[in-house]
Structure 1
């Protein structure tokens, strides 16, 4: 049995610099709550998106468990467009309602899901019977979950909090259980 703890990063204020956007003050407070949530859990390894806000969200877990944070580029948030979109909410709704649609320079849901699932499969093969923390982003996390069950969709994504934590249990690479472990 492999347990994957998907951690959606804590709150950060929007800037155009995706890689270096730090947590907000509220995000730092919530990061400490995330650390406490994992204090008494056995964690074998930690992976993260290379984005600063994702790394910062699990830094306390890494320190508490004396683990390194392994960054993986394919865990970064989906690229929505290579330009600025006038209506972010409408754009997100469109890519979720049309899984193969992509804005110019962006990724469709299917493309983003494929890169994330490929990474998850490698992690599952590398860490059988381990407890693994993966710090990532809302779209990527839900797209991975949707790969296994269709109820994880746009409506589910809209209800996520920042941060959020879901425990996915795999038996022989088959998803057997999903539980939300974050308490707001």
Structure 2
């Protein structure tokens, strides 16, 4: 799992936001981290920032990025509306304490987790035995990991970085190991 790098919240919309200068530099570090992992498949959210974070690594491994629409970030408001970090963190806390809570036009914790776990299970079946990179988002990554092990909750999410890299090992549909590969400089 590769959480996307730092992304400006000033331009575009949720789907088209790219990476900041720091995000671009960090994407190079993601590539370095994944160089020796022998990656077979690169999969990403359709959001530009997630794809850009793993793009150099995919190029290094001479692989295409397969985009899965349902790996997109949780819809906090209407599809394209950008929500600031100042607004999103209290909202996410509320979602963790009340999993059915949603703003008008948004998606609840329960609905988002159902959507992303369904697609992750499909990926695990379709690419069984493969080493896969999933370019994703903080909340989506946390909800997927939380489904398999509830120690990955709000506190875990709040302590992740942008970007962040976690190596998850599955046996069938059981999560058997998690290792953080990202290290702050």
TM bucket normalised to smaller = over 0.9
CA-based RMSD of the aligned residues comes to 1.4
So what's the TM-score if we normalise by structure 2?
0.92
Q: In the TM superposition, what is the alpha-carbon distance from 1:103 to its structure 2 partner?
A: 1.1
Q: Which runs of 5+ in 2 are unaligned?
A: none
- Aligned residue pairs total 179
The farther-off stretch of 91-100 and 133-142 is 91-100
The corresponding residue for 1:10 is 5
Distance 1:61 1:102, change over 3 A: same
The corresponding residue for 1:156 is 156
Larger RCO, structure (CA 8 Å, separation 6 or more): 1
SS in 2 for 1:43: coil
Equivalences for 1:49-88 in 2 at 5 Å?
Answer: 49-82=45-78, 87-88=87-88
Q: Which runs of 5+ in 1 are unaligned?
A: 1-5
Deviations 1:98-142 (A, max 9, x none): 111111111111100111001111111111111000000000000
SS in 2 for 1:146: helix
The corresponding residue for 1:124 is 124
Partners of 2:170 and 2:106 lie apart in 1 by 31
The corresponding residue for 2:32 is 36
So what's the TM-score if we normalise by structure 1?
0.93
Once superposed, which parts of structure 1, at least 4 consecutive aligned residues long, lie more than 6 Å away? Answer: 83-86
The corresponding residue for 2:133 is 133
Deviations 1:46-100 (A, max 9, x none): 1001111100000111110000001111111001123677833221211111111
